[in-house]
Structure 1
């Protein structure tokens, strides 16, 4: 029985919000306003209790303490916005440097990191909360006439300042790691593997489909197919008693008029509502199109980014084969995870186990070609990369089932042929074709083990 699971209804919305940088700060500002109202109500309750008990001396002492804290709150409100501007200006410079050295797609890592959004949220929340607290201070000093003493609000402000300082340290650490190759490619492969683990596995022996009876075309703006709302499509197909087939792959570029969904099987008769018809709008709304590919359902995006970074590192303008070797390390890791996993066509089922949505996903050969085709052409001039690529292919061969070894053997043979054609000296050819997991880490003549 192939692995299957019921899709999460809100998973596309959740992932789309992760691709934005405005939602978390906006939600934080709303939350901090609610926090201020609660703290102000608590302060009012404290004043009422002290006044009701005739404890005016304690109320006066409390007012004196909060007046001392007022200076701190005022300083925080004045300095916080400037601090936010300086921190994130430096951050944008760091992101720009990272995108120039690695790939422009690395900006997505900055946007998706929770620590970045949390830091901006807390910084803005501290600034807004301090402004709101200042409105709660009173000029009245007579304990019998004091309406509110913002003690709790002042304490919360100080706690937010302390949290901001801790997050600033974590944020700087994250930004410094973003400028290093290793952490960036590690993050990319982690995102790619997360896609592998949360997607249903493909079918080893896909079942046939009923005859095609209709198609739904794309009517929105042109863009990349980011993902589809699987649960909505499954429900719509179950309601009509048909099977839907996603024609393009996630990551394909769509223009208006492109067929998106094929309907297989006869729909349940409903007078005046044939498919595709009025309900085809429901199906189109389940297809998300944007300007860039996302990790949510795109199995090949991680490999695409790793290959892009390696290709840029191997370009004559950069000439950094060690970065390409680091990318190959993660490419081999990704392929090792999916080597024995059913890939290709994915069947999404309804609650009764019936297939309702068929999705074409990259197969093993597609992923291997994506990983090695372009790199193989750029690597022939550098023995460090050819040696690492050969070692990676040799490591993958024992992990892949017999029927999946042909693409690996083909790329190995093509790489050997390209090196033999490029390197004029036999000794150079032999050295470049020696598998080595570090690229140039050890000589085959000195090797004593496998």
Structure 2
């Protein structure tokens, strides 16, 4: 349930209508509230304040009409600027990064603020009365409209500055990296290191499968990306059948209608409607998202680097920035225990087998395509090798070091085959040999101990 709430909240945050709609509702409430206050309180300003307060119905209508017209005009300008920024981001950094710009709260607040002010002025304008039978001048409400107009002027300046900063390549990469780090810390928190881990071997799992009274395969009923898996519901369903469930895909995989996704082993007969509840434990969508997909933001960063390394762009500096940011994120993974594939209930009985992401898989997603597209660029491969040295140094687990060594060998081989300058390869080789010597020293220390 928590994963689904995060998914729906993420969709709301990335929509351009949610925050503006909230601001419009607030503007309507403020309009009704202040008009009611004007009706209940008779304000007669004296002294210098009298020059700033509205003195006639015609003046009130003039001010409110001017503010309303200006706000709707500027709202169109803001919307146009936003579309231009989205177009630039899509062409330069890739269409999948549009979601990051859609998530930008300031863009949503600025657009919503102008529309909300326009709505507020319309409502207050309709209450101004100057006929012989009715006289009503909402002095407080008109004064608040003037304040809103001044605030929106400052918002426009802030918005233009914000847009000019956020379309810069380094800032885009930094924003993606921040999202990636937040996602890693949410999916793989360090506190998990303190949790009790239940061990089970492959042979024990095979025995459980053989002992089960039945085995049934369930297929997906529609195509799309697997976005969210409700693990708690799956564990509950496994307890109902006194068995366990094996999920053959993980969040981010594209599933084709008719593809096998669940294998159910149990000792109790399946109840009617079990298949619907089982498939209902997954959310299938038309695109990937970061709710449970640990690769999502990594692939965004890789896409920026790949576009930077394309012949039409040829921007190795942006690619190097992406490598630095990815190195930071991968180093965090070396300090946590990635969740295993097995989930148990309170009685320590196996209930769920997941298809989880491994450290090797994340590193491959992060660096393989950059190595392939940048194999003819010495600067990129040398920085990749520097990244391997950094990650290897911070890694504490032998299996992580083995993965980094494998990727370092592939980087060295790519440089050997594609570098035309011997000195460039010598720089790469020096970094590789440093990593190999560290690996050999670790092996020697292990033998001595």
TM range (shorter): 0.7 to 0.9
**Whole-Å Cα distance in 1 between the matches of residues 177 and 415 of structure 2?**
28
User: Counterpart in 2 of 1:198?
Assistant: 186
User: Counterpart in 2 of 1:162?
Assistant: 150
State whether residues 185 and 327 of structure 1, in contact with CA within 8 Å, keep that contact through their aligned partners in structure 2. yes
Q: 2:414 aligns with which of 418, 427, 436?
A: 418
Q: Which moved more, 1:363-372 or 1:37-46?
A: 37-46
Q: Does 1:321 align with 2:329?
A: no
State whether residues 419 and 425 of structure 2, in contact with CA within 8 Å, keep that contact through their aligned partners in structure 1. yes
**Distance change (3 Å), C-alpha of 1:394 and 1:87:** same
State whether residues 384 and 432 of structure 1, in contact with CA within 8 Å, keep that contact through their aligned partners in structure 2. no
State whether residues 246 and 264 of structure 2, in contact with CA within 8 Å, keep that contact through their aligned partners in structure 1. yes
Does the residue aligned with 2:83 lie in a helix, a strand or coil?
helix
Deviation at 1:230, TM superposition (A): 4.5
**Whole-Å Cα distance in 2 between the matches of residues 382 and 116 of structure 1?**
37
Q: 1:78 aligns with which of 69, 76, 91?
A: 69
Q: Deviations over 1:8-60 (max 9, x none)?
A: 6622221222232222223333333233222232222225xx8xxxx9x9xx9
**Whole-Å Cα distance in 2 between the matches of residues 159 and 170 of structure 1?**
17
Q: 1:96 aligns with which of 87, 91, 101?
A: 87
Deviation at 1:353, TM superposition (A): 8.0
User: Counterpart in 2 of 1:24?
Assistant: 19
Deviation at 1:392, TM superposition (A): 0.7
User: Counterpart in 1 of 2:437?
Assistant: none
Does the residue aligned with 2:261 lie in a helix, a strand or coil?
strand
Q: Does 1:312 align with 2:319?
A: no
Deviation at 1:92, TM superposition (A): 1.1
**Whole-Å Cα distance in 1 between the matches of residues 167 and 124 of structure 2?**
38
Q: Deviations over 1:68-112 (max 9, x none)?
A: 343221111112222111222122112211221122212111111
User: Counterpart in 2 of 1:392?
Assistant: 387
Which structure is higher in RCO with an 8 Å CA cutoff and minimum separation 6? 1
**Distance change (3 Å), C-alpha of 1:417 and 1:124:** same
**Distance change (3 Å), C-alpha of 1:322 and 1:161:** same
Q: Where is the helix percentage greater, Structure 1 or Structure 2?
A: 2
**Whole-Å Cα distance in 2 between the matches of residues 33 and 264 of structure 1?**
56
User: Counterpart in 2 of 1:378?
Assistant: 373
User: Counterpart in 2 of 1:12?
Assistant: 7
**Whole-Å Cα distance in 1 between the matches of residues 36 and 323 of structure 2?**
58
Does the residue aligned with 1:343 lie in a helix, a strand or coil?
coil
User: Counterpart in 2 of 1:252?
Assistant: 253
Q: Deviations over 1:302-349 (max 9, x none)?
A: 211111111111111111111110000011011001013222535567
Does the residue aligned with 1:315 lie in a helix, a strand or coil?
coil
Deviation at 1:206, TM superposition (A): 5.4
TM-score (norm 2): 0.81
TM-score (norm 1): 0.81
**Whole-Å Cα distance in 2 between the matches of residues 8 and 43 of structure 1?**
47
User: Counterpart in 1 of 2:436?
Assistant: none
Q: Which moved more, 1:31-40 or 1:190-199?
A: 31-40
Does the residue aligned with 2:41 lie in a helix, a strand or coil?
helix
- The number of residues matched between the two structures is 412
Does the residue aligned with 1:156 lie in a helix, a strand or coil?
helix
**Distance change (3 Å), C-alpha of 1:308 and 1:200:** closer
User: Counterpart in 2 of 1:173?
Assistant: 161
**Whole-Å Cα distance in 1 between the matches of residues 237 and 33 of structure 2?**
44
Q: Which moved more, 1:287-296 or 1:312-321?
A: 287-296
User: Counterpart in 2 of 1:439?
Assistant: none
Deviation at 1:432, TM superposition (A): 4.5
